[in-house]
Amino acid sequence: MALRDSPSSCPALWRWLRCPPAELRLDLVLASGQSFRWRQSSPGAWTGVLAERVWTLRQERGRLWYTVYGEDGPGPETDRILRDYFQLDVRLPALYRAWGAADPLFCRTAAAFPGVRVLRQDPAECLLTFICTSNNHVARITAMIERLCRAFGRRLCSLDQRPFHAFPSLAALAGSDAEAKLRALGFGYRARFVSGAAKAIAEGMGTAGLCRLRDAPYAEARRALCALPGVGDKVADCVCLMALDKAEAVPVDTHVWRIARQRYGAALGARSLTARVYQEIGDFFRELWGPYAGWAQAVLFCADLRKGRDGGSRARRGRSQASRGAGCS
Question: Taking each helix axis from N to C terminus, what angle separates 190-203 and 123-131, rounded to the nearest 10 degrees?
Answer: 150
Name residue 158's beta-bridge partners.
163
Residue 287 half-sphere exposure toward CB, CA atoms < 13 A:
8
CA distance 6 to 261: 45
CA distance 74 to 67: 6
Amino acid at 224: A
Cβ atoms 31, 15 nearer than 8 A: no
Q: Would you call 234 a catalytic residue per the annotation?
A: yes
Cβ atoms 63, 16 nearer than 8 A: yes
Catalytic entry in 181, 199, 234, 246:
234
Contacts of 252 (CB under 8 A, 6+ apart): 233, 234, 237, 260, 273, 278, 281, 282
Instruction: Give the CA-trace dihedral at 267, 273, 275, 279, to 10 degrees.
Output: 40
Catalytic residues: 234
